[in-house]
Each structure stands twice: as structure tokens, then as C-alpha cells.
């Protein structure tokens, strides 16, 4: 129990939200959590947090409310819905939405919350499940500088690279660019894997040496074992990356930016989903290259 740290409500305890909220508890925060699956609430309680049966119950006494939800519709439901955050949080509460959603949803949320005296930051993250567990996430923030400064200690318990990118929605725009880079990078790695295997090269040796040169990347380092073992347990689900490719292609169209490589990879991700692979990790882009190359799909 701490007197000086803000009381935190955490909504959305999934692959990311669970380890992130546990890092806050480890840093000394009192965290009250709500999510749809009872076993994930139980996990928070086992880690020293408090379970709440509803959004309203979770946020009522909170100084800071953090949401880590799949996409814009869930954020809107939790924020605006009956029993939602805007209806139940106290004026002065800081709402930090760490989900990856459309920049426009973040802008609208900040405006609507202001009418209730609630301050908002969009603060999506990059670094994946491993980055969440290790508290080394990159956190890209949009909103007012004073709110960013007051949230900094919370961010420091969750991540390592913490940057205010600009006004409301800017964090989401940067996150959309992040997802474009990650998708195209995974696709390039997947194509290299199939090319190397068809050429009869030792794949593990090849990926090791590639990782040390200009072709190396965090994507290659983090996903190498997924490729080698054909282990596509999520991680980051294809379904969520499909959502993010929609966000970045829409946003780019709005500002008149062409994303030719991104558009192709967006289609390949859509195709994986259509073939029933939406629940797999995004490293499963390898399966689509295998199919295109007439290679038997392993796993
Ligand atoms: P997830 O599907 O594992 O978790 C989402 C959680 O939200 C679930 O536990 C679900 O119960 C909860 N939820 C949904 N609707 C709710 C509601 N109405 N009320 C309360 N809880 C609700 O997703 P995730 O992988 O943790 O991703 C969360 C967000 O973070 C997404 O926007 C994703 O794009 C982004 N993200 C994910 C990763 C990753 O590697 N998984 C990395 C960076 C960013």
C-alpha cells in the first residue's frame, strides 16, 4: 500500500496488459484490474492486484486509468458505454489508452473526455509480449506535455524508450508507422527463410550471421526461433496486425502517402486470416510465403 503513488485502474489484461500491469504492481502501484476472462483477473490478483467485476468498479477510485484493449470499438465501448470510464471516473483522472487504435479515435476520445474533466493520453507501445514482460517497451505518446510529464513515472515502470510525439493522436500515427515497418520486415525475413531453405543452406547458421549485419533487426532477433521451430503461438496475432495495416493504409491515404510495399503485405496478412491463420503470431507470414513457393507448410 502506497500513499504517494496514484491508484491505477487497468482495463484489458491480455497478452500485453497482464505483464504490464504486473510490472506496475512490482513498482509499488496499487492496481485494480478488469478484463473479460476471469482467469486473467485471477492472475492479476495472484500478482498482488485487486480484481474488479466491471469497468465502473475498477475506475471509480482511480487517479490513473489505463486501457490495453484490442481495437477502436473496444476502446469506445469501455470509454463511452453505459458503466464506462467517462461516466464513472472522477474529474481530474488521467486516462492513458495504450491500445493500438485509429488516430482519429484518440483525438475524439480526448475531446469528449475533456468535457468530463478527464485528461487523456494516447500511448501505444512497441516491443511485443517480450518487451512487456521485460518492461522495455517503446512508448509513443500523444497529448499535452503536462499530462505526459505526470504519467512519466508510470511509463518508466513499463518501458525504456518513452517519447512525446505531439498532440492527441500522434502516438497512434507513430504506432501505425511502426506496424508498417514491422510487417514489411517480417515479410522480408519470411521470404529469406524460404529462399535459404530451398537453396539447401543451414537456416540457423544463416539467420545467425544475417542478424549480425545490416540485415539484422529486432524483428529478426525476436522472431528467429519462431521461424526455425515453426512455432506460431502468439505473440502478436495476425488478426491484430490486420487491424493495424488497415489503420496505416487508411491514415496514409488521408495524407496522400503511397505505401506500395505496405499494401502488398497488408494483402498477404488478409489472406492468412482468410485461410484461418488469424489467431497465429504474425511470424506466420512465413506460411503464406511457403504456400506461394509450393513448399509444404510445416506446423
Ligand atoms: P489480447 O487480445 O491478448 O488482450 C485484449 C484484452 O482486452 C483481453 O484480455 C480482453 O478480455 C480485454 N477486453 C476486450 N474487450 C473488453 C471489454 N469490453 N472490457 C474489458 N476488457 C476487455 O490483445 P493484446 O495482444 O494484449 O493487445 C492489446 C493491444 O495492444 C492491441 O491494440 C494490440 O494491437 C496492441 N499491441 C499488442 C502487442 C503484442 O505483441 N501482443 C504489441 C504491441 C501492441
- Span 9-45, pLDDT tens digits: 999 999 999 999 999 999 999 999 999 999 999 999 9
| Residue 101, domain member (yes or no) | yes
Last residue of a domain, one of 148, 167, 186: 167
Residue 179 above 50 pLDDT?
A: yes
Q: Which pLDDT band holds residue 3 (cuts at 50, 70, 90)? A: low
DSSP 284: G
Average pLDDT, stretch 173-177?
98
| Residue 268, domain member (yes or no) | yes
Give this prediction's pTM.
0.95
237 shares a domain with 159: no
Beta strands per DSSP E along 74-193: 94-97, 119-122, 125-126, 137-142, 159-166
- The pLDDT score that the predictor gives to residue 4 is 81
Q: What percent of the chain shows pLDDT beyond 90?
A: 97
Residue 285 above 80 pLDDT?
A: yes
Residue 234 above 80 pLDDT?
A: yes
Last residue of a domain, one of 141, 167, 193: 167
Ligand 1 atom nearest 124 alpha carbon: 44
133 shares a domain with 27: yes
Average pLDDT, stretch 239-262?
97
76 shares a domain with 177: no
151 shares a domain with 38: yes
| Residue 3, domain member (yes or no) | no
Q: Do residues 44 and 51 lie in contact, with contact meaning Cβ atoms separated by under 8 Å?
A: yes
188 shares a domain with 106: no
Q: Which of 11, 16, 239 to mutate to test the pocket of ligand 1 (most atoms within 8 A of CB)?
A: 16
Domain that holds residue 227: 173-292
Q: Do residues 223 and 216 lie in contact, with contact meaning Cβ atoms separated by under 8 Å?
A: no
Tell me the pLDDT tens digit for each residue of 89-132. Answer: 999 999 999 999 999 999 999 999 999 999 999 999 999 999 99
| Residue 61, domain member (yes or no) | yes
55 CA distance to ligand 1 middle (Å) = 15
58 shares a domain with 121: yes
Last residue of a domain, one of 142, 167, 192: 167
- The pLDDT score that the predictor gives to residue 299 is 65
Residue 177 above 80 pLDDT?
A: yes
| Residue 76, domain member (yes or no) | yes
148 shares a domain with 188: no
CATH code for position 252: 1.10.1040.10
Chain centroid to CA 6: 23
Residues with CB under 6 A from ligand 1: 11-17, 34-37, 40, 68-71, 74, 77-78, 99-100, 125-126, 128-129, 235-236, 240
Q: Which pLDDT band holds residue 50 (cuts at 50, 70, 90)? A: very high
| Residue 30, domain member (yes or no) | yes
Q: Which residue has a Cα nearest atom 41 of ligand 1?
A: 236
Q: Which of 68, 180, 237 to mutate to test the pocket of ligand 1 (most atoms within 8 A of CB)?
A: 68
- The pLDDT score that the predictor gives to residue 1 is 45
The number of distinct structural domains making up the chain is 2
* Residue tagged 475524439 (cell numbers): 108
25 shares a domain with 148: yes
- The pLDDT score that the predictor gives to residue 8 is 98
150 shares a domain with 41: yes
Amino acid at each position: 500500500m502506497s500513499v504517494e503513488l496514484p491508484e491505477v485502474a487497468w482495463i484489458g489484461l491480455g497478452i500485453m496488459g497482464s505483464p504490464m500491469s504486473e510490472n506496475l504492481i512490482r513498482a509499488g502501484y496499487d492496481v485494480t484490474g478488469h478484463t473479460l476472462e476471469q482467469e486473467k483477473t485471477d492472475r492479476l490478483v495472484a500478482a498482488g492486484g485487486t480484481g474488479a467485476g466491471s469497468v465502473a468498479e475498477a475506475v471509480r477510485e482511480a487517479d490513473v486509468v489505463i486501457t490495453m484493449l484490442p481495437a477502436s470499438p473496444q476502446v469506445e465501448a469501455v470509454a463511452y458505454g453505459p458503466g464506462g470510464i467517462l461516466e464513472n471516473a472522477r474529474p481530474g483522472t488521467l486516462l492513458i489508452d495504450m491500445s493500438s487504435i485509429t488516430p482519429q479515435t484518440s483525438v475524439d476520445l480526448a475531446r469528449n473526455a475533456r468535457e468530463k474533466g478527464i485528461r487523456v493520453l494516447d500511448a501505444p507501445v512497441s516491443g511485443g509480449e517480450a518487451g512487456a514482460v521485460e518492461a522495455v517497451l517503446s512508448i509513443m505518446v500523444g497529448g499535452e506535455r503536462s499530462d505526459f510529464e505526470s504519467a512519466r513515472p508510470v511509463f518508466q515502470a513499463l518501458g525504456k524508450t518513452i517519447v512525446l510525439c505531439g498532440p492527441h493522436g500522434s502516438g497512434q500515427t507513430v504506432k501505425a508507422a511502426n506496424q508498417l515497418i514491422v510487417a514489411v520486415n517480417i515479410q522480408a525475413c519470411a521470404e529469406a527463410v524460404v529462399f535459404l531453405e530451398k537453396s539447401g543452406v543451414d537456416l540457423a547458421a544463416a539467420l545467425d550471421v544475417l542478424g549480425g549485419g545490416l540485415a539484422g533487426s529486432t524483428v529478426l532477433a525476436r522472431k528467429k526461433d519462431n521461424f526455425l521451430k515453426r512455432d506460431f503461438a502468439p505473440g502478436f496475432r495476425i488478426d491484430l496486425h490486420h487491424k493495424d495495416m488497415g489503420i496505416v493504409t487508411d491514415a496514409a491515404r488521408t495524407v496522400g502517402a503511397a505505401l506500395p510495399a505496405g499494401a502488398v503485405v497488408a494483402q498477404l496478412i488478409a489472406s492468412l486470416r482468410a485461410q484461418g491463420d488469424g489467431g497465429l503470431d504474425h511470424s506466420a507470414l512465413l506460411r503464406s510465403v511457403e504456400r506461394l513457393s509450393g513448399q509444404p507448410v510445416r506446423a
